[in-house]
Amino acid sequence: MIAQLALAMLLVTALTGCGQGPSVASTPLAGEATAVAVADVRDDISAAATPVVAAVQETTAEVVLPAMVGVQEAIQHAAPPTASSLREPIVSPPAVALIVRWEVGSPSLYARRYESPIWPGGASGVTWGIGYDGGHQTRQQIGLDWSAHDAVSRLQGTAGITGGAARPVVSQLRDVRVSFDLATDVFGAASLPRYHASARRAFGPDGFDVLPADAQGALVSLVYNRGASMVGPGRTEMRSIRDVCILGSDVHCIAGQIRLMCRLWRGTNLEAGLCGRREEEAGLAERAR
């Protein structure tokens, strides 16, 4: 409860333009011994599955992503996820505000547009809360993250459904409402720790951990929006950040590579939104101290 109240206060402060002072580098908090052991087992199994998953990530989402979710289901069956097994990171307030702003805008906009699940289009699945994409989750993970919601079993039905196949599913969930309070609870307790850990693994913990907090946060936002894959021509800049920029703790290099990603959406109806978000992430990274 204390953590949830702290996150709520952070969101209010950040979204109203306050709390923008300099931040320090963050490190994940250690969990209890049992939780760490479970997490280590899951990491070992995930590492074994990663080459198989990565090899197909750039192909058709509607075919590949359900298979990836199937792999995740198998991993979670072997080592079930628990709330305590997620090491809760500290993500800088400006980065939290950036993610929330680009995902849902503000509490009032959320109430008008996002209280019910939507399909954002493209390779996304049914999405609700603060950018929570059910299509990229397993039934088990959705059940854990959204156990407090009365319609959790219906939300679990979105697992692994992405792309055009997700559109008709949204119409079946029009009566489902997700309050902003619950959305922020799940964002703070589940989404942020998971995407922080994903970004840290993707870019390499040794280099990631010594970056300033806002630079880390920019990369968390990037992974929150684009995922952590390093495979294929669409991920050239991601690999450059990992292999060049982070090795030298060069925040200007990170910012430059984030901006270069705009090539992927130039001339499409996604350009304004995604290039705008990349620009804010780049600015956050290059101002980091």
Task: Write out pLDDT tens, residues 247-286.
Answer: 999 999 999 999 999 999 999 998 999 999 999 999 999 9
Across the chain, what does the average pLDDT equal? 79
250: left (phi over 0), alpha (psi -120 to 50) or beta: beta
pLDDT of residue 121: 87
CB 117 within 8 A of CB 173: yes
Within 8 A by CB and 6+ apart from 179, the residues are 115
How much of the chain exceeds pLDDT 90, in percent?
66
C-alpha to C-alpha distance for 228 and 209, rounded to whole angstroms: 17
Element of type H or E holding 133: strand 132-133
Domain boundaries, the chain: 1-11+31-86+116-178
159: which 2 tokens?
Answer: 């697992």
